[in-house]
Amino acid sequence: MTTERTAQPTLNGIDIDSLNATLAAVGEQPELGASTFRADCRWIDSRRVATSIDAFAAAGGDHRRRNSHELRTDLPEALGGTDQGPSPLEVALSSLGSCVTTTLVVHAAAKGIALRSVNVTLSGDLDLQGFLNLADVRAGYQRLKLEIALDADLSAAEAARFVESGLRFSPVLDLFRHGTEVETSAATIRQTGPQAV
């Protein structure tokens, strides 16, 4: 006797039909997986920077967001900033935590696991002597700690296996774990009139 499986429209807020269609399309045409994301960072003053996020390339085409996004960073007053935004290091933690969370939610939906909540808490240790060029140490994080709490109908062992398998697919975690080649270029721009605000 065979039973018909009824498709669930959404799981964990993920449209299952759309997810399956994406998996099938990229599986059949791997070139659709090639993506490019962009960020344009502009110095405001002191230690404040505005980052604009809009256009990206994915699924075989170039796209503009319905709403462009702007993120402003600063440093805490104790580090010479004006505390008008999170520091770039804190944004890096936020990027990692939100990517891990999203990855787990999507992979849970793909596996049919209903999640009631996911909470990722992060901390990172670094030595400011690297950034300040006072000692020969790394300028960036020397170690990170992620604590992941799931509320789902899984045993502790099942949850640990799910998290371990899901973390393999987090793009930002991959960035931290394996590093990424960074190509740089620099140019001098001379402004002839008053500086735009």
| Per-residue confidence (pLDDT) for residue 8, from 0 to 100 | 59
Q: What are the CA-CA distances from residue 39 to residues 51, 53, 71, 132, 140 (Å)?
A: 6, 5, 10, 25, 20
Residues 4-22, mean pLDDT to the nearest whole number: 77
| Per-residue confidence (pLDDT) for residue 7, from 0 to 100 | 54
Angle between helices 88-111 and 16-28 (to 10 degrees): 100
Domain spans of the chain?
13-85, 87-180
**pLDDT at 98 exceeding the cut of 70:** yes
More confident site: 192 or 3 = 192
| Homologous superfamily of domain range 13-85 | K homology (KH) domain (3.30.300.20)
Task: Band the pLDDT of 143: cuts 50, 70, 90.
Answer: very high
Give the pLDDT confidence of 169-186 residue by residue, as tens digits. 999 999 999 988 989 998
Backbone CA torsion sign across 104, 106, 112, 114? positive
Average of per-residue pLDDT values in the chain: 89
| Per-residue confidence (pLDDT) for residue 3, from 0 to 100 | 39
| Per-residue confidence (pLDDT) for residue 25, from 0 to 100 | 87
Q: What are the CA-CA distances from residue 97 to residues 29, 44, 194 (Å)?
A: 30, 27, 41
Domains 13-85 and 87-180 are alike in CATH topology: yes
Q: Topology of domain 87-180, per CATH?
A: GMP Synthetase; Chain A, domain 3 (3.30.300)
Task: Band the pLDDT of 193: cuts 50, 70, 90.
Answer: low
Phi-psi region of 7 (alpha: psi -120 to 50; beta: other; left: phi over 0): beta
Residues 149-158, mean pLDDT to the nearest whole number: 94
**pLDDT at 194 exceeding the cut of 70:** no
- The token pair at 95 is 């990027």
Q: What is the pTM of this model?
A: 0.82
Phi-psi region of 160 (alpha: psi -120 to 50; beta: other; left: phi over 0): alpha
More confident site: 5 or 192 = 192
| Per-residue confidence (pLDDT) for residue 20, from 0 to 100 | 84
**pLDDT at 117 exceeding the cut of 90:** yes
